[in-house]
Amino acid sequence: MNDTHPITLVTGANKGIGREIAGGLAALGHTVVLGSRSAELGEKAAAELRATGADAEALVLDVTDPASVAAAAAGIQARHGRLDTLVNNAGVAVPPGSDLSSQRPGTVDLAVVRRIFDTNVFGVVTVTDALLPLLRRSPAPRIVNVSSAAGSLSLMADQEAWAHEQPPICVGYIPSKSALTALTLQYARQLRPDGILVNAVCPGFVATDLNGHTGHRTPVQGAAAAVRMATVPAEGPTGTFSDDQGPVPW
């Protein structure tokens, strides 16, 4: 059991933004647990971090599978006895086998939308609730939810941006991020008396598998806001939504 370094779980951590969040926190002295649906890919990412001197380990975790989540929580309990930081990073924009037209108003495939919400919203609830008992054992527990400014109601209401589809028109992914940001506030309100800080962050438009590598930011840049909020002091903020430049409109 590690009694000195913060223990941090990052979901969806075998690649992209999650991988860089794990790497950034490991560089700051965290013991990072890389949650991944694939044992092979998770261990590959963890081994790459260990090769840099990081304290990193892989953990099989499918956020949409309650049994997998329960097993992951039990594994962290057995190995570490507590959790200091949870970064809910796992997410999906366009599930395999579908395209953006399945999320357009008028041509919505509800099965696709449900799959997105299952990962981006219900998966966060499942993972967070399962790990709360371990977070309560931390002297300075934190939860960071990787959301998106694309889900900002204020930005979506900007009609001058509509001609450019900024944010894009998307019934599944965009509302799932709006819901995740709202969810962040509910947990922040509930957990504030317990000293558990809960914040949402936006990584920006990062080139990852999620968007076919069309983003203009790197995964390292996208990880910056999550790394910052995962390391705020015990008296730090809760119930906020920010990127690496500052607050994001609700």
Question: Which are the catalytic amino acids?
Answer: 173
Residue 134 is given by DSSP the state H
- For residue 248, the number of C-alpha atoms closer than 13 Å in the C-beta half-sphere is 26
75 vs 89: CA distance, rounded Å: 19
Distance, CA of 193 to CA of 94 (rounded, Å): 37
Q: Are 20 and 223 in contact (CB under 8 A)?
A: yes
Amino acid code (one letter) for 104: R
What CA–CA distance (Å, rounded) separates 196 from 247? 20
List the beta bridge partners of residue 33.
9, 57
Among 92, 110, 90, 91, smallest CA distance to 102 is for 110
